[in-house]
Amino acid sequence: MLKPTLVTLPETQLVVKKRSMSLIDNQTQALWQSFMPRRELITN
């Protein structure tokens, strides 16, 4: 059995986007495409 361990990770910056959608009105492609104009702001 594995023992749980706590690991401290280095600070990470996140890019957050929000889009309302449903299974019928799937907007996943539009959500990902909205990242592309700002991709140069995302490092690593």
Q: How much is the pLDDT for 33?
A: 86
Other residues' Cβ atoms within 10 Å of the Cβ of residue 4: 4
Render pLDDT for 3-44 as a digit per residue (tens, 0 to 9). 999 999 998 877 788 888 899 989 888 888 888 887 787 776
Q: Tell me the pTM.
A: 0.47
In the prediction, which pLDDT does 44 show? 67
Q: What is the pLDDT of residue 3?
A: 95
Question: DSSP code of 3?
Answer: P
Smallest Cα–Cα separation from 28: which of 13, 17, 15, 43?
Answer: 17
3-state DSSP helix/strand/coil percent for the chain, to nearest 5? 25, 0, 75
- Would you tell me how many other CB atoms lie within 10 Å of the CB of residue 31? 13
DSSP letter (8 states) at residue 34? T
